[in-house]
Amino acid sequence: MNILAVRVRAYLDLLKFRLSALVTFSAVFGFVLGHSSPGFSWSGLIGLIVGGFLISGASGAANEILERDLDRLMKRTQSRPLPMNVVSVLEAQWFTILVALVGVFTLWVFTNPLTTYLGILSMVLYVFVYTPLKRVGPIAVLVGAIPGAMPPLLGWTAATGAVTYEALIIFGIQFIWQFPHFWAIAWVSDDDYKRAGFKLLPSGGKKDLNTAIQIMVYTLFLLPLGLLPTYFGLTGLHSGIVATVCGVLFLAQTFSLMRDCSHRSALKIMFGSFLYLPVVQIAYLLDKVN
């Protein structure tokens, strides 16, 4: 691999490309769901995609800058650009600032001030509150769930210019989803996280029945939440059925964890969380456009 390709890959890694792409999809989901007028705003959608991706990428890059010394301690992050010295800290800082500014500017020009302010709030919470709290305690998960659930809200406000009860519903679904998602990852990566001093698991950071029960309870909340878009007429019955089936399957995985508290069961919940959100959001979208 030549030097240019290595550098390009390093900058894409800094942006956490795959994660930022998933974040952008959630924003697009909110935009399409909120867009009810006959004239679809393609400029607004493209501005949201570009601006949302760049703000998410800048947040991820800033996180890697702040945690570069901790990343060297964990196997899952040792190969990131900064621990490997592929990119210097100064380069990463200037790159992050540029990406953040372009992202904010794009949202301001192509969407609206409310969406821009929410995007900035999301970035500030993720970088300057959630990131340092990861070494304090599980309160970090609560704080991190706010920017983590912001993308569909950003999409909705980009389409409508307002925060409505429908916007809060799709925000709430993704907000509650964060807890089993984060805790399953923290359970699976517990040894690595301990090397960096991260304290994300509840119940005193233990991989025990109490933690498994909390994962189950938050997953259980997704069942009624998943039906709210159907109940309030935001989507149709078909997506409500899909959300319920996915919620039941997701919940069933938590019972295995409560029974054996094993790494394997936590891994299944983690992968289940990766599947639940996009599948349910796609179902809502298909129900909306049909």
Answer for the pair 230, 239: CB distance below 8 angstroms, yes or no.
Answer: yes
The tokens describing 193, both together, are 């996280």
The per-residue pLDDT for 164 is 95
Burial of 226 (0-12, 13-18, 19+ CB in 10 A): buried
pLDDT by 10-residue block (mean), the chain, 290 residues = 82 94 96 79 94 97 96 94 94 97 98 97 97 95 96 96 96 98 96 93 90 97 97 94 97 97 96 96 90
Closest CA to 149 of 282, 46, 281, 12: 281
Who contacts 258 (Cβ-Cβ below 8 Å, separation ≥6)? 209, 212, 213, 216
The per-residue pLDDT for 208 is 94
What's the CA gap between 91 and 72, in Å, rounded?
18
Burial of 192 (0-12, 13-18, 19+ CB in 10 A): middle
The per-residue pLDDT for 38 is 63
The per-residue pLDDT for 204 is 83
What's the CA gap between 60 and 82, in Å, rounded?
13
Closest CA to 176 of 207, 210, 152: 152
pTM: 0.95
Q: Can you give the length of the chain in residues?
A: 290
- Asked whether the CA dihedral 258, 204, 145, 166 is positive or negative, the reply is positive
The tokens describing 105, both together, are 């500017």
The per-residue pLDDT for 41 is 87
The per-residue pLDDT for 7 is 87
Burial of 280 (0-12, 13-18, 19+ CB in 10 A): buried
Residue 200 phi, psi (nearest 5):
-105, -25
